[in-house]
Amino acid sequence: MTRRRRGPVLLVLPTMAILVLVVIFPMIYSLTVSFHLYDLRVPRHPFVGFENYVRLFTDPRFHNALGVTGLLLLGELALQFPLGFGLALLLARKFYGKKVVQPILLIPMMITPVVVGYMGRLLFETRSGPINYFLNLMGLSSALWHTSAKTALLTVMLLDTWQWTPFMMGVLLAGLVSLPPEPYESARVDGASSLQIFWYLTLPLLKPVIALVIIMRSLAILQTFDIIYVLTMGGPGTATETIGIYTYLVGFRYWDIGQASSAAWVLAIMLSLGVTVFLKMMGKERR
Amino acid sequence: MNLRMRKSLSQAMGYILIGVALAFTLFPIYWMLLTSVQPSDELMQSPPRFITSRPTLEHWRFAIENKWKYFTNSLIISSSATVIAILVGSLSGYAFARYQVGGDTLPFWILSLKFFPPIAAAVPFFLMMNKLHLLDTHIAVIIPHLIITIPFAVWMIKGFVAEVPQELEEAAMIDGCSHLGVIRKVTLPLIAPGIVVTALFCFIWSWNDFLFALILTRSHAMTLPVAIAGMREAHGLMWGAVSATAAMATLPVLIMAIVLQKYIVRGLALGAVK
């Protein structure tokens, strides 16, 4: 009996050893760094207590980063959820060519985010990009997109929506397909309209899946970095400076590693709240 | 009659909307590919050209000649991070599925690492690799990529093992197979496709990473995404060359995505839906 007990623990050991080494240890290291004045260009790194955190929370640029990240979160969810849900409902029906269409629509989310950022530079190019060309064709004037502080964040949102709406669509579609058919049959027998069926049957039945996609997307949006780095580097000014970009610039442009560590920890704590909710839902799903 | 007309009208609307969605999905990819084979004098003209009559491979030649090193760097780093994740992930995935080691807490903690922000680990990894004089080596990127690949591999393989009915293993055991023999002859062949799927995903996650490679490499071990991001400054207006390089980075992922199409949603939703 004891031998059977020890065996399984041994199987888990390599995984746990590596994860302690690559996650727990670096995080403790970064926590201690966040309590030091850690400028890479000077040799001494004195202990300063919470000073990095105080500087962080009084830095208007960090406030701006929180605001930009929050706006990005709301904007992207507002675009991606309805679009993704609509497409999922569309694809849940039978139609000709479905087997080909469905995988094509899922492609964007597999593409390297840096490449997506670069595609954005091509498409939104202000003088001769195809998007402004189409706008002109429809009688609208060209927009400055990522090169103007007013529209840069919107451009990031649109680009990320191209990449991640398929995720919303795919997961919601999988949820729709696995719904039990019986309630639908009886509802139709009772003469319910399709709008009623959607509102009183589909939505409530799909609630767990909806909650799941929204929390998963939110956790990813809060970390947005790659496409912004390529498209705007946080600019113009600080118009697209998310928490991720802010942390990178503070740490690796201004070499203030101590404050970058404190910003990274604040982001990690914010995300862990979301992750807790996510895990609760995963636990419920499985029961 | 009225009902039938309404039905075919809604069907037509459906096709139109799906057509629009397809166009929106494919156009950016088409545009990048087009830019990569257009002669330089046709690029960035106003109005833009939507097809080319003089396709050229000069940008692809440039990309392959100058960026091949970064392509192989990406290949080495992603393969290593995948192999390690599959090796340790199969062991622990099996243990989590069959023996409930660590109850729910441990596998859920591992799952939560899928949302761990790379920027938080990037700073301490930079300091550590700097001290160990490992900056700009493959190992410096492979190690942090394990944060991305291992939790995913563990969780996916755990799910695939759980789908193999335990009775099958027990039956083989009664027939006189040793426990290890059962795993080798019964369970492993059954979850082999799942392991391949998991490996392909791990490879893509590592391939697509930008932040770790950006911070931990300079030139020698630089990955393809970092090279693409760097071309922006170095080659200001070489749209064709950057497009060819970006397409080169996209190709392996695209091929894998086609292989994975049935599993994409499951992989991205971490098995929450099938």
Cβ distance B29 to A107 less than 8 Å, yes or no, reads yes
Reduced to 3 states (helix: H, G, I; strand: E, B; else coil), residue A79 is helix
**Mutation site, A9, A122, A242, interface B, largest B CB count within 10 A:** A122
Neighbour-count burial for A61-72, b at 16+ CB within 10 Å, e otherwise: ebebbbebbeeb
The answer to whether the beta carbons of residues A114 and A227 sit under 8 Å apart is: yes
Q: What are phi and psi of A95, to 5 degrees?
A: -155, 165
Task: Kindly tell me if the per-residue pLDDT of A2 is higher than 50.
Answer: no
pLDDT exceeds 80 at position B191: yes
Closest residue by Cα to residue B78 from B253, B243, B214, B245: B253
Enumerate domains of chain B plus CATH numbers: 63-268 (1.10.3720.10)
**Residue A3 C-alpha, separation from nearest chain B C-alpha, in angstroms:** 12
pLDDT band at A232 (very low <50, low <70, confident <90, very high): very high
**Secondary structure (3-state) at B204:** helix
Residue with tokens 């020698």: B220
All residues at 6 or more sequence positions from B54 whose CB lies less than 8 Å from its CB, including other chains: B38, B39, B42
User: What pLDDT is recorded for position B274?
Assistant: 64
pLDDT at A287 over 60: no
Q: Are the Cβ atoms of B273 and A121 closer than 8 angstroms? A: no
CB spacing of A111 vs B254 below 8 angstroms:
yes
CA separation for the pair B144, A23 (Å, rounded): 8
Chains A, B: CB contacts under 8 A, how many? 279
Span B159-165, mean pLDDT? 91
Is the pLDDT at B1 greater than 60? The verdict is no
Interface probe with B: pick from A2, A3, A12, most Cβ of B within 10 Å: A12
Domain boundaries, chain A: 61-286
Residues 6+ apart with CB under 8 A from A97: none
* Segment A43-54 mean pLDDT: 90
DSSP symbols for B91-115: HHHHHHHHH-TTTTHHHHHHHHGGG
Query: Shortest CB distance from B18 goes to which of A14, A90, A226?
Result: A90
Residues 6 or more apart whose CB falls under 8 angstroms from that of B97 comprise B157, B158, B159, B161, B162
Cα angle value B191/B196/B202 (rounded, 5°): 120
> Are the Cβ atoms of A18 and B125 closer than 8 angstroms?
no
Tokens of A204: 């409530």
A258 pLDDT higher than 90: yes
Amino acid at A82: P
Contact B169, B94 (CB under 8 A): no
- Which residue of chain A has the CA closest to B159? A286
Q: Do B274 and A174 touch (CB under 8 A)?
A: yes
How far apart, in whole angstroms, are the C-alpha atoms of residue A125 and residue B46? 11
Question: Which of A102, A133, A272 minimises the CB distance to B47?
Answer: A133
Q: What is the mean pLDDT of chain A?
A: 92
Instruction: State the Rg of chain A over Cα.
Output: 24
pLDDT at site A285: 65
Does the bond joining B118 to the residue before it have cis omega, within 30 degrees of 0?
no
- Between the alpha carbon of residue B230 and those of residues A118, B235, B248, the distances in Å are 11, 9, 15
Of A75-84, A126-135, A139-148, B101-110, give the range with the top mean pLDDT.
Answer: A75-84
C-alpha–C-alpha distance, residues A129 and A119, integer Å: 11
Count the residues in chain B. Answer: 274
pLDDT band at A3 (very low <50, low <70, confident <90, very high): very low
d(CA A259, CA A246): 11
- Centre a 10 Å sphere on the Cβ of residue B252 and count the other Cβ atoms it contains: 18
Give the model's pLDDT for residue A240. Answer: 96
Rounded-to-10 torsion of CA B241, B243, B246, B252: -100
Q: What is the pLDDT of residue A5?
A: 64
pLDDT-derived band at B210, boundaries 50, 70, 90: very high
Q: Answer whether B102 sits within 8 Å of A12, measured CB to CB.
A: yes
Q: What is the pLDDT of residues B119-131, one digit of tens each?
A: 999 999 999 999 9
Which pLDDT value is given to residue B64? 93
**How would you label B91-103 residue by residue, b for 16+ Cβ within 10 Å and e otherwise?**
bbbbbbbbeebbe
Fold of A61-286: MetI-like fold (1.10.3720)
Residues of chain B in contact with residue A264, where contact means CB-CB under 8 angstroms, are 117, 119-120, 122-123
The amino acid at B153:
A
- pLDDT given for residue B4 in this prediction: 82
- Summarize pLDDT for A181-215 with one digit per residue, the tens: 888 888 888 888 888 999 999 999 999 999 999 99
What 3-state class would DSSP assign to A256?
strand
User: What is the separation of C-alpha B74 from the centre of its chain, rounded to a whole number of angstroms?
Assistant: 12
Judge whether residue B235 has pLDDT over 60.
no
